Chains A and B, each alone.
Chain A
Amino acid sequence: MTAHRLLALADGPLAGAAFGNIIVACLLALAVATFWYCRKNEIWWQALVEVFSRRRFSVLVLSLYVALALADSVSWVGGGGGEADGVLSHEARSLVDRFFSGSTEKSYSSPLAAAEFYDKTPLVRSRGHLLGTNILGQDVLYMTVKGARVALLIGGLTSLIAIPLALFFGMVAGYFGGRVDDLVFFVMSTLASMPSILLLIALIMVLGQSTVSVCVALGVTSWVSFCRLARGETMKIRELDYVVAARALGVSHAAILWRHVLPNLLHLVVISFVLLFSSLVLAEATLSWLGIGVSGSWGQMIAQAKDELSRDPIVWWNVAAAGVAVFVLLLAVNRIGDALRDVLDPRTLGEGR
């Protein structure tokens, strides 16, 4: 059993319905925990409020995307649709699927058109497709909305796994130094020496193109930069007077890491998470262009533009929808990231004002 097949097998259940529901539940729990932590910590709460008030629009946009992604992750079997839609009775469908059921045509149609684009046969849902349909007749708005889940999965989930791992190794390497540090640093250097796009391609060729393997590949190529950051900061924190004092008093390593080192790294974690999200979504778009991306992503929709824009007359709505979706998400995330970076400046977080 090679990794390739293993991961492809895993993709079935893992990217499917049950997994989606579990993930949603976990994310909600995580959100509640974060909220509670911020409530307790005055400085973080103030920072959050500050960012929210500065970037109200971006936060709103991001919340919309998150809501759509969540809607597409919660799925169950049964109810609605049926044979007419080509849906099998045991297939789990999400909220988004159900909302858009019964909207498949035969092929291209332009936004709000009454007939097909090229041969003029009347549409099943005349004037019902806000953004038109793609080559398979799928409603473009539907595909765009579904893409939100893929984007957040790629960006968010991968970061959620990569960053804590990088944080752990970085802290351990920076704090303990010596052999441990040598080893971690060597592994980091080796991975970092391989140009990430090439490494990404190599990993995907080897691991296969399932959603899970793409996420794993993205994770492997992106944990190094944060690990380096965490390691550097930990080395600085280790030399601070109060940490040295704590050691002298006999406080255990674990306690120091948890109580002194970790809180001082949290602002970096938040900022890196946001930045990583952006770059992962962009990376996936590149992979789709090269033909090895995740299916159903906006990148894939954009990649189809290669053909669509050279048709006559041109089919523009597919790439426009996906392009705008990606652009708006990245813009919102980048704006929030900028604001976070300004607000979470260690000078304001460290000793209060």
Chain B
Amino acid sequence: MLAYIVRRTFYALLVVLGVLFFLFVLFFAVTSPDDIARRAIGDKALPQVIQQWKHVHGYDRPLWPGPGHATDNLFVEHFERMLTFDLGRSDADNVPIARRIREGAGPSLLLTVPMFVFGLALSILVSLFVALFRETYIDRAGVLISVLLMSIPMLLYIIFGQFLLSKVLRWFPLSGFDPEPAVVARFLALPVVIAVLSSLGSSVRFYRTLFVEEIYKDYVRTARAKGAGEFRILQGHVLRNALIPIMTDVVMTIPFLFTGSLLLEAAFGIPGLGSLVVDAINANDFSTLRAMVFLGSLLFIVGQVLTDVSYTIVDPRIRLK
């Protein structure tokens, strides 16, 4: 099994290099430094101004490796810096990106961790309930409601959530953020509620299918023949088997707890990593965008490796070959 983990990690590294290459092509070849400069200062800028801007932001070197500048070019530099987590400075305001990321991670986590925990607990409970009553009208209603919930775009949840619960009922503040432990919950409550509600539909649909599939399997029939009751079957047999794919699905999302939710943070004024990306979009800040995509990818890759490894540990069929 150790050999597998090593191989998996090695492949992950290869993928990281692949991502870096793709990012380079996208951000430096498909759109050239000249374009970036023009977007920052304006289309009609004089060549000298563009050159000056490029120099200040470190873009004034050759793009690809070539004779005479095998290492002094943007390509190599890109790889070197990203791999050493030297994320550079923002194209918009020259602030070090790493600092921004450090500042933004906290608020993002404060939003995503409760979202994750409550969302998971609620989804599993509801799916179990619905699976227990499979083939009855409770099940059909549950599925219909899930599909309904799934069909509403997150946008609408945000808009109506803010409108109804904040403006009309005045239960929560509209937006804003205050890291004081005493009041932070007030600002996070509404976004968490909206986030949980919007993902409930698809989670319940997915988990319910898993549970029901397990319930129809032969070993459940054996357990019934032994005299086990529905509750014992769900808890001791179905859950144990269904949790394997659920857990791997869940481990996958853990890295995203850091990157936060773009929409939610933008809509609720939470100064996390999501807002950082949105600001970068509005400011045409390519370097920040590059760094964030890289960071997101890295976390994603780590998540995938963790998922694969945890699958081999948790499922005895794979653990004991």
Contacts and interface: CB of A to CB of B under 8 A. Distances in A.
B297 A290 contact: no
Contact of B30 (A2, A278, A306): A2
A195 B289 CA distance: 12
Nearest to A278: B151
B266 interface: yes
A331 to B, nearest CB: 4
Contacts of A2: 30-32, 35
B150 interface: yes
Contacts of A187: 18
B263 A289 contact: yes
Contact of A201 (B18, B148, B281): B281
Interface string B241-272: 00000000000000010010011001100000
A189 B22 CA distance: 12
Nearest to A285: B153
B153 A286 contact: yes
Nearest to B160: A323
B147 interface: yes
B48 interface: no
Contact of B15 (A193, A206, A323): A193
Given A202-B289, A206-B31, A309-B163, A292 B281 contact: yes
Contacts of B15: 186, 189-190, 193
Given A193-B301, A195-B259, A207-B30, A286 B154 contact: yes
B284 A202 contact: no
A17 B23 CA distance: 35
Interface residues of A, number: 46
B297 A193 contact: yes
Interface of B: 11, 14-16, 18-19, 22-23, 26-27, 30-32, 35, 147-148, 150-156, 159, 162-163, 167, 256, 259, 262-263, 266-267, 277-278, 281-282, 284, 286, 289-290, 292-293, 296-297, 300-301, 304
B262 A327 contact: no
26 contacts: A2-B35, A190-B22, A193-B18, A195-B256, A195-B297, A195-B300, A197-B262, A198-B293, A199-B293, A201-B277, A206-B27, A282-B153, A286-B153, A286-B155, A286-B262, A289-B155, A289-B266, A290-B262, A290-B263, A290-B266, A291-B281, A299-B155, A302-B155, A309-B163, A323-B159, A326-B153
B151 A327 contact: yes
A51 interface: no
B293 A202 contact: yes
Contacts of A326: 153, 156
Shortest beta-carbon contacts, A-B, top 5: A190-B18, A330-B151, A331-B151, A195-B296, A285-B153
Contact of B152 (A291, A306, A309, A327): A327
Contacts of A33: none
Interface in A1-47: 2-4
Contacts of A310: 167
Contacts of B31: 2-4, 206
Contact of B35 (A4, A193, A197, A203): A4
A302 B292 CA distance: 27
A349 B286 CA distance: 49
Contact of A189 (B18, B23, B281): B18
Given A205-B281, A292-B281, A299-B155, A3 B30 contact: yes
Q: Is the interface of A mostly helix, strand, loop or mixed?
A: helix
Interface of A: 2-4, 186-187, 189-191, 193-195, 197-199, 201-203, 205-207, 278, 281-282, 285-286, 288-292, 299, 302-303, 305-306, 309-310, 319, 323, 326-327, 330-331, 334-335, 338
Given A4-B35, A282-B153, A289-B155, 9 more contacts: A3-B30, A189-B15, A193-B301, A194-B296, A198-B259, A198-B297, A288-B155, A309-B167, A338-B147
Given A2-B35, A290-B266, A194 B297 contact: yes
Contact of A203 (B26, B148, B266, B296): B26
Given A197-B262, A338-B147, A191 B286 contact: no
Contacts of A4: 31, 35
B147 A290 contact: no
A198 B296 contact: yes
Given A3-B30, A331-B147, A198 B18 contact: no
B213 to A, nearest CB: 12
A331 B148 contact: yes
Contacts of A292: 281
Most buried by B among A205, A282, A285, A331: A205
Contacts of B281: 201, 205, 290-292
A278 to B, nearest CB: 8
B26 A202 contact: yes
A158 B23 CA distance: 23
Contacts of A288: 155
A193 B304 CA distance: 8
Given A201-B289, A291-B281, A331-B147, A194 B156 contact: no
Contacts of A278: 151
A184 to B, nearest CB: 13
A107 to B, nearest CB: 21
B263 A286 contact: yes
B147 A335 contact: yes
Given A194-B300, A198-B293, A338-B147, A206 B30 contact: yes
Contacts of A302: 153, 155-156, 159
B147 A205 contact: no
Contacts of B163: 309
Contacts of B150: 330, 334
A193 B19 contact: yes
